[in-house]
Amino acid sequence: MTDRVLIFDIDDTLLDYEAAERGIWEAIFRDHGLALSEDDFQRNWAISWETWKEAGMMNITDPDVQASYEDRYRQAVLAMMEGVRDYTGIRTSAAELAEQFEVFMSRQFTTFPEVEQVLWDLHRDGYRLFLASNGHQEVQTARMAVFADVIDGILTSELAGIPKPGAAFFRELMEMIQRTAGCAGILPKQCLFIGDSIHSDMIGAHAAGMDTCLVDRKGKYPDLESLPEEERASVRFIVKDLRQLMTIKEL
């Protein structure tokens, strides 16, 4: 047994977000009698990033952005749908398309290849596993249903009322962990937060007193020294995939 708690971000840590978004658009287009071409997907992807940026979602460390995260999220999704309506001729309202997006997203759960085996191995080895995501509780719970037997809890920004890296999100997360059977005395320093985002995951978890592990699937950072200087202190380990977690001796 171990007294370590492992907390995983969901999108782009466990789930392949691009594959999910592709699947969502295919489903929406199919629903409107259209076939999604590669060009369509790239166009939607670009619209999505643009509207996300315009809604201020890239400045997630800004407390004002955190306080209005849910409104900004809805605004970004609606603007994205307007953009897609403009060029496809789809006449369904942006609000209805946004609802479809949510429904189809809850059915998209392509994990990276090693994820399932690693989560089961960690569970078998006695680690307690939690998930922490900026997203909607029902959607993320549905997408993680396949891991229901090994996961002890999921906290989303919707449930916490604030996204990562907000301090209140991490307080809520610690409370959720401590309410879980067998985890009552767990302290932040016993927790390792594993995620792909320096800003949402590493900075927030580090500020909350947790250990941190950056999942760098694209190999952008070969070592800690290659991280931007102002962000370096928030990252303790870097792995390229979850299999590499097993090689961390302090795990």
The minimum distance between CB 112 and Mg ion, in angstroms, equals 12
169 and 9 Cβ atoms separated by less than 8 Å: no
- Cβ contacts of 91-95, under 8 Å, gap ≥ 24: 92/32
The minimum distance between CB 109 and Mg ion, in angstroms, equals 14
Binding site for Mg ion (CB under 5 A): 9, 11-12, 196-197
The minimum distance between CB 209 and Mg ion, in angstroms, equals 21
Nearest Cα residue to 208 out of 240, 250, 162: 162
CA–CA separation, 134 vs 228, rounded Å?
A: 23
* Choice between 12 and 50, CB closer to Mg ion: 12
* Choice between 11 and 152, CB closer to Mg ion: 11
CA–CA separation, 79 vs 226, rounded Å?
A: 36
191 and 171 Cβ atoms separated by less than 8 Å: no
CA–CA separation, 251 vs 76, rounded Å?
A: 38
* Choice between 11 and 216, CB closer to Mg ion: 11
* Choice between 12 and 102, CB closer to Mg ion: 12
- DSSP codes of every residue in 163-193: -TT-HHHHHHHHHHHHHSTT-TT--GGGEEE
The minimum distance between CB 135 and Mg ion, in angstroms, equals 9
CA–CA separation, 169 vs 54, rounded Å?
A: 24
The minimum distance between CB 32 and Mg ion, in angstroms, equals 29
* Choice between 83 and 206, CB closer to Mg ion: 206
CA–CA separation, 84 vs 50, rounded Å?
A: 12
The minimum distance between CB 233 and Mg ion, in angstroms, equals 20
* Choice between 14 and 36, CB closer to Mg ion: 14
